[in-house]
Amino acid sequence: MTSYYDEIEIEDMDFDEDEQVYTYPCPCGDKFEIFVDDLRDGEDVARCPSCSLIIRVIYDPDEFAEEDD
């Protein structure tokens, strides 16, 4: 069983359009991150690259269905 630091609504995360990544502040001072491609693949775990904490991202997978840009 996975132990999440927290569960965060995607609307509460910051989005970097250039990098196509959602971020959220981590207590260690870095940021949790999850990429749009991961969300499209059904991933719901955002990881911090600087520590072992993870959060569960709450989102509607239908909003991330593949689109032709």
Domain that holds residue 24: 6-61
Number of domains in the chain: 1
Return the residue matching tokens 């990881």.
47
What pLDDT digit, counting tens, does each position of 10-55 carry?
999 999 999 999 999 999 999 999 999 999 999 999 999 999 999 9
CATH number at residue 49: 3.10.660.10
CB neighbour class for 22 (10 Å; exposed up to 12, middle 13-18, buried from 19): buried
pLDDT of residue 25: 99
What pLDDT digit, counting tens, does each position of 45-55 carry?
999 999 999 99
Single out the residue of 56, 65, 67 nearest to residue 34, CA to CA. Answer: 56
- Residue 11 in any domain: the answer is yes
Pairing of strands 54-58, 45-47: antiparallel
Q: Do 54 and 4 form a contact (C-beta atoms < 8 A)?
A: yes
